[in-house]
Structure 1
Amino acid sequence: MKITGYRELFTQHEWHRPVGDVNGVSVGTRTDVHVLILTTDEGYEGISVGPSSRSDLARVFPAIEGEDPRGVTALYDRMLSYVFKSGHTGSVFASIGAIDDALWDLKAKMAGEPLWRMLGGRTRFVPGYASGLEFGLADDEVHALYEQFAAAGFAQAKLKGGRNADDDIRRLRLVRDVLTTNSAQPAMMFDANESWHRSQAVRHIQRIEAEIDLTWIEEPVRRWDAHGLAEVRRSVRTGVATGENLTGLEQYRPLFDADAVDVVQFNSGWGTTNALRVAVAAHAHDLPVSPIGFTSIIAHAASTMPNHLTTEVQDLGQPIGVHIDQEIADGGIVLGNSPGAGITLDEALIEKLPVGQGWATPAGPHVRPERAGLRMVPGEPGAPDITWLGA
């Protein structure tokens, strides 16, 4: 069997709300979703749903063209080697991850097994936490959103923030109270999305900790600042979680060496092989792992990880024209028994969709604000308009 080609589809996810974080909020309520379909000479196809780049896919694909798709991990390393000189960061890593996920889907389909079973998973249930990307919403909208998560059994939640501690405390309390329908002590997490410098992080977290029992603080400082993360970790009671924006196993080494992390995260869009390797590296340091982001395949890998803690669930719906054989229920993800990752497509519906706005906005959330980490007070001159940031 040989890999012969690929095709791409571009669908959208309808969130029914703007989504984003302290760095910015989406325009409208839909964001773009990339679908990759790998083809073979024997008619099998592998599907992945997640981030990637058209130009980077074209650049990386020659590394696997004509290869046997069953050699998934070897092909993953072959793709990394193929971009050795220019590096595998950013959208290149996302594209490698998209191909990797499609290969795993293909391999499991050929074996006639659901991916979680082929990878060695024992149970179809993957525990999760609610994470609504709710920064752009008013308090009543936040309340209504997390009521939906509570109805799906969630007793863990993560909120976005980092600009105004009083606002953050109020909204954490609001969501905590909603989730008490499922637990007397809901687990509450908080994500600053790299918006602070070290002293800001400690001061802000300590204010929150005086009012709320936090499970972890996520990305309090820049992703590569191992010493800063370690300093924050020593200065606050809550755990420090980070890793979603690291693009390569080697980038975790400084965090381990500096004893800078309590919960090791990885981006769901970076591929199954990367996820499995990060989990092993974290396990060697007796650390738990938690996947971040909006892709379906990673839950299959999470089901096999002995140190899996909880997986981020950002929405209860699925992308338009995409059906994934899994259910959000009982506070987590219940994986199905369909072969592969259980992804089926309505290509005719997807092809009729208009071009979406995606994350399009001049200031993010994928663009770091000009004064991030440098603001003394909310509303400081030169800072972005904080009314749309919700602070």
Structure 2
Amino acid sequence: MGDVNGFIASGITEVPVVIIETDEGVEGVALGSDHDLARIFPALEGQDPRGVSALYDRMLAHVFKAGHNGATFGGVATFDAALWDIKAKLVGEPLWRLLGATDRFVPGYASGLDIALSDERLAAFYESMAERGFTSGKLKGGRDVETDLRRLDIVRGALTRNTARPALMLDANESWNLKQAVRFVSAVEAEVDLTWIEEPLRRWDAHGHARLSRAVNAAVATGENLTGLEQFRSLFDLGGVDIVQSGAVWGITHFLRLAYAAHARDLPISPVGLTSNPAVTHAAAAVPNHLTAEVQDLAAPFGVVVDEEFVDGGIVLGDAPGAGLRIDEAAIESAREQGDWMQAAGPHVRPVRAGLMLTADAPEADSTPAPLSI
């Protein structure tokens, strides 16, 4: 699994499980990030968990001096998802219904995190997703136009069992500069009707995204790595985003607020990476401008049971109270030797020369000096 910045050969990543206990015995369960939980929790301790929106703001205020941006936002988000789980359990309803949805079906698209897959394995993944009714898919790419065209055709071929014109997306994971993006997307669009280009530039480059959106036919999708509603202001003001994306790892309240901010501008929203925080799927069912959600895997994380199904090209949410998460702590404890995604290489580490190469597929020179001993 991985992207243009690198990959993890094992395909294993760690997803923390957070459980909030209450004095009435109701537990809130969430997946996401465990960053800064000890620093954030005093904002919640002793509070009524039903006041989720106020507690969300209380958590942000609690880390005001250093700021909530970055990894700390993930800790806030995981607590937030656990609070929503408690609130829905207290009234005995699935979260999607508590949030105001009437339809439990959430449209989705297939996403293989597939930069390192062979063509054969790429075809097998998207064929398995086509069997579940998916009609759209997202390819990781951005290094070589011919390679991406060949692999987009593989994705299209697998998905045509459900539609004559599958929606095809390309994700470059912030690896280009502006003119690289214009040239690359233009070359792809000469052969493929590209639905959107995702994270073509650095996440904060609102001017660049706006210029790119005007230069290509594909929609520009970005925002999954922005940690806070305020970080979207420039993208909104300058017209730098066509598909507003929200990282599922940033939680439910962030998703809801961002969805309504986008809706006020007639923009659709799309959550990214639901495996890391499945509860956000419930929020997607409840907003008026949800477009499609990223489905990376048909299986739940190890040791986690999620009350949902993948059918008809999307996610069908269940009736279990709360977010529908059940944790098998014994299974998790017995498999703690599974591996670690915090390693020196992989999609979580940006290459030194990303966006600074004349050719996108140029090899990187290893000019790292020998380390000092300490």
> What TM-score do you get using the length of structure 1 for normalisation?
0.91
1:186 maps to amino acid? P
**Residue number in structure 2 paired with 1:6:** none
Structure 2 SS opposite 1:328: strand
Of 280, 284, 288, 2:264 maps to 284
Paired residues of 2:199 and 2:222 also in contact (CA < 8 A): yes
**Residue number in structure 1 paired with 2:46:** 66
1:276 maps to amino acid? L
Paired residues of 1:217 and 1:238 also in contact (CA < 8 A): yes
Structure 1 SS opposite 2:211: helix
User: In the alignment, is residue 220 of structure 1 matched against residue 191 of structure 2?
Assistant: no
2:150 maps to amino acid? R
Residues 230 and 349 of structure 1: is their aligned pair in 2 closer, same or farther, counting only changes over 3 Å? Answer: same
What are the residue-to-residue correspondences of 1:235-384 with 2, within 5 Å?
A: 235-293=215-273, 294=275, 295-378=277-360, 380=362, 382-383=364-365
Distance in 2 (alpha carbons) for counterparts of 1:259 and 1:291? 20
Residues 195 and 338 of structure 1: is their aligned pair in 2 closer, same or farther, counting only changes over 3 Å? Answer: same
Distance in 2 (alpha carbons) for counterparts of 1:50 and 1:31? 12
Structure 1 SS opposite 2:286: coil
Aligned-residue Cα RMSD (Å) equals 1.3
2:113 maps to amino acid? L
Question: Any runs of at least 4 consecutive aligned residues in structure 1 with deviations exceeding 6 A, and if so which?
Answer: none
Deviation at residue 31 of structure 1 after TM alignment: 1.3
Paired residues of 2:168 and 2:193 also in contact (CA < 8 A): yes
Q: Which string of whole-angstrom CA distances, capped at 9 and with x for unpartnered residues, describes residues 25-73 of structure 1?
A: 01413211110000001100000012332xx000100111010000000
Structure 2 SS opposite 1:351: helix
Structure 1 SS opposite 2:364: coil
Distance in 1 (alpha carbons) for counterparts of 2:72 and 2:200? 26
Q: Which string of whole-angstrom CA distances, capped at 9 and with x for unpartnered residues, describes residues 92-125 of structure 1?
A: 0000000000000000000100000000001010
What are the residue-to-residue correspondences of 1:36-75 with 2, within 5 Å?
A: 36-53=18-35, 56-75=36-55
Of 124, 127, 144, 1:144 maps to 124
Percent identity, aligned pairs only, is 58
The total of aligned residue pairs comes to 365
Distance in 1 (alpha carbons) for counterparts of 2:89 and 2:148? 45
1:125 maps to amino acid? F
Paired residues of 1:26 and 1:360 also in contact (CA < 8 A): no
Paired residues of 1:363 and 1:369 also in contact (CA < 8 A): no
Paired residues of 1:241 and 1:262 also in contact (CA < 8 A): yes
Structure 2 SS opposite 1:32: coil
Paired residues of 1:27 and 1:357 also in contact (CA < 8 A): no
Structure 2 SS opposite 1:370: coil
Q: Which string of whole-angstrom CA distances, capped at 9 and with x for unpartnered residues, describes residues 322-379 of structure 1?
A: 1010001110000000000111111111111123333244232111101100111255
Distance in 1 (alpha carbons) for counterparts of 2:169 and 2:326? 33
**Residue number in structure 1 paired with 2:181:** 201
**Residue number in structure 2 paired with 1:76:** 56
**Residue number in structure 2 paired with 1:90:** 70
Unaligned runs of 5+ in 1: 1-18, 385-391
Paired residues of 2:143 and 2:361 also in contact (CA < 8 A): no
Structure 1 SS opposite 2:139: strand
**Residue number in structure 2 paired with 1:15:** none
Distance in 2 (alpha carbons) for counterparts of 1:317 and 1:199? 39
Distance in 1 (alpha carbons) for counterparts of 2:174 and 2:186? 17
Distance in 2 (alpha carbons) for counterparts of 1:381 and 1:284? 44
1:235 maps to amino acid? A
What are the residue-to-residue correspondences of 1:108-187 with 2, within 5 Å?
A: 108-187=88-167
2:80 maps to amino acid? D
Paired residues of 2:142 and 2:360 also in contact (CA < 8 A): no
Distance in 2 (alpha carbons) for counterparts of 1:290 and 1:180? 23
**Residue number in structure 2 paired with 1:192:** 172
Distance in 2 (alpha carbons) for counterparts of 1:383 and 1:285? 44
Distance in 1 (alpha carbons) for counterparts of 2:104 and 2:67? 36
Distance in 2 (alpha carbons) for counterparts of 1:377 and 1:269? 33
Distance in 1 (alpha carbons) for counterparts of 2:12 and 2:109? 22
2:32 maps to amino acid? G
Distance in 2 (alpha carbons) for counterparts of 1:32 and 1:258? 37
Paired residues of 1:69 and 1:106 also in contact (CA < 8 A): yes
Structure 1 SS opposite 2:283: helix
Deviation at residue 204 of structure 1 after TM alignment: 0.3
Q: Which string of whole-angstrom CA distances, capped at 9 and with x for unpartnered residues, describes residues 253-307 of structure 1?
A: 1001101111000010111000000000000000000000122101100001100
Residues 208 and 381 of structure 1: is their aligned pair in 2 closer, same or farther, counting only changes over 3 Å? Answer: closer
